Structure 1
């Protein structure tokens, strides 16, 4: 049975689907995506077989399905998403980029992923940005996704940070939202549903409970943070546009990569990056 929370999340993303990829025009998210792509090339792809099978859990418009399918032409996969509107955009993208024959697109709810994908196994399961924030029970979903992994398979997540959400809301004068974020539950705007927020302790505990061994726990961007405009599909914070214009983007990218693996850096991250391996 669909809950009020399910409906709110579905409606939130269905409405955004047609323009969701316009974030490609926002310099801050260009920086974030380039950092994530580099982390995947260094910390994930080298540890997978050439013909790996992946699950894009909550894949939306297929941004990261497209990355893996194009980066690794021997790969095949499944994109699972809550909304048909997002999936329609992802299908068009796959057809235009020539990998539609290697990816299956399926509507489904991560709260029921064990049922939706019963009997299937993957070498790689990934879930990026706020996806695990919007499930009913993040710990249960991580365990369910872990059970879909083949022995030695990887679960890779990019998760919203407790501490960044608190900092962000304080900066906007939203002190009640900031206080709520410290309880690992919150949001960045009044128009989005509440979501789970994560810190290293919660991440370590939920992966251990799922029988998954964490191999990488970090995050990024660490040295530059989004403003309110970056929570919208259009528009960018003026000073971020100035800083990331032209060669500025490359300079900040270089500095971000310099600190990406520094001990304890996850505490500064906008989003937390996790690579965990199945031992069974």
Structure 2
């Protein structure tokens, strides 16, 4: 029996854990991942110091820890996530890909991050996709992330865009959800999901500024092509996405358009996701 929101989120990811990485097979999310990696290459990785410590906050099956630690063999990583069902897949990846000796997994609620993670330990904290949407108290979690960063360290966040969530739910015929997102800033993309926080660029920047993490980059992605309902599931491709992205020549041309636009601050409101880089001030 599910008794509270944490239990609801835990059960949601328990059911999805074993098949979660099948999202890599969906053409829309492959495009989205390629764009996110490009944003990291442009705005984050070049200035990440040698031997940096990285925290993947809400990292689940370790998809992005895996990519970072394989690309940069000097990095050490810590993955913190609520779901042990998800993180056992991250542990398996670390062994398979040869970085288990520089990778730590911690299970817990992000609201209690400070109880398991030392202050000012990390050069970089990442928290991607819907993680911040699923926490009870967003400012409290962001304060914990800020405390975990070294002075000058950066937080890189990918969060659901409230404006896109309204569009998506109207597009898929879920008007009740569209109204919920518009009026309460909470909603979902599929009926089985727990309701989560949605973010606007200005609200996100304001919340980060209030916890002393001023924003240096704020944009959105993808901005020219959007998911359909099937992309909220772990398998399958929506007809609209299939028509646009499954032809490889067309895919490459659309990717080139997206890369040309990626990072432009005025496009944040159009992104399926918001991408933000915020930096902890150095001590004067």
The normalised TM-score by structure 1 is: 0.97
SS of alignment partner, residue 214 of structure 2: strand
Q: 1:111-145 CA distances to partner (integer Å, 9 max, x unpaired)?
A: 11111214461000010000000001111111110
Give the drift of 1:3. Answer: 6.4
Q: Which residue of 2 aligns with 1:214?
A: 215
Q: Which residue of 2 aligns with 1:45?
A: 45
Q: Which residue of 2 aligns with 1:279?
A: 281
**Is this contact kept in 2: 1:55–1:79, CA < 8 A?**
yes
Let me know the Cα RMSD of the aligned residues. Answer: 1.3
Q: Output aligned runs, 1:70-81, within 5 Å.
A: 70-81=70-81
How many residues align? The count is 279
**Is this contact kept in 2: 1:143–1:209, CA < 8 A?**
no
SS of alignment partner, residue 206 of structure 2: helix
Partner Cα separation in structure 1 for residue 258 and residue 3 of structure 2: 40
- Answer yes or no: is 1:54 the counterpart of 2:54: yes
Partner Cα separation in structure 2 for residue 17 and residue 263 of structure 1: 34
Q: 1:27-62 CA distances to partner (integer Å, 9 max, x unpaired)?
A: 000000000011011100112101100000001000
Partner Cα separation in structure 2 for residue 196 and residue 43 of structure 1: 26
**Is this contact kept in 2: 1:217–1:266, CA < 8 A?**
yes
Q: Which residue of 1 aligns with 2:66?
A: 66
Stretches of structure 1 that go unaligned for 5 or more consecutive residues are none
Q: 1:213-242 CA distances to partner (integer Å, 9 max, x unpaired)?
A: 111000100000000000000111123123
Give the drift of 1:19. Answer: 0.4
- Answer yes or no: is 1:170 the counterpart of 2:170: yes
Q: 1:85-117 CA distances to partner (integer Å, 9 max, x unpaired)?
A: 111111111111111111001111101111121
Q: Which residue of 1 aligns with 2:99?
A: 99
Partner Cα separation in structure 2 for residue 239 and residue 167 of structure 1: 15
Q: Which residue of 1 aligns with 2:258?
A: 256
- Answer yes or no: is 1:236 the counterpart of 2:241: no
Stretches of structure 2 that go unaligned for 5 or more consecutive residues are none
Partner Cα separation in structure 2 for residue 68 and residue 55 of structure 1: 11
Give the drift of 1:248. Answer: 2.1
**Is this contact kept in 2: 1:166–1:181, CA < 8 A?**
yes
Give the drift of 1:263. Answer: 4.0
The normalised TM-score by structure 2 is: 0.95
**Is this contact kept in 2: 1:57–1:126, CA < 8 A?**
yes
Runs (4+) off by over 6 Å: none
Q: Which residue of 1 aligns with 2:270?
A: 268
Partner Cα separation in structure 2 for residue 118 and residue 185 of structure 1: 31
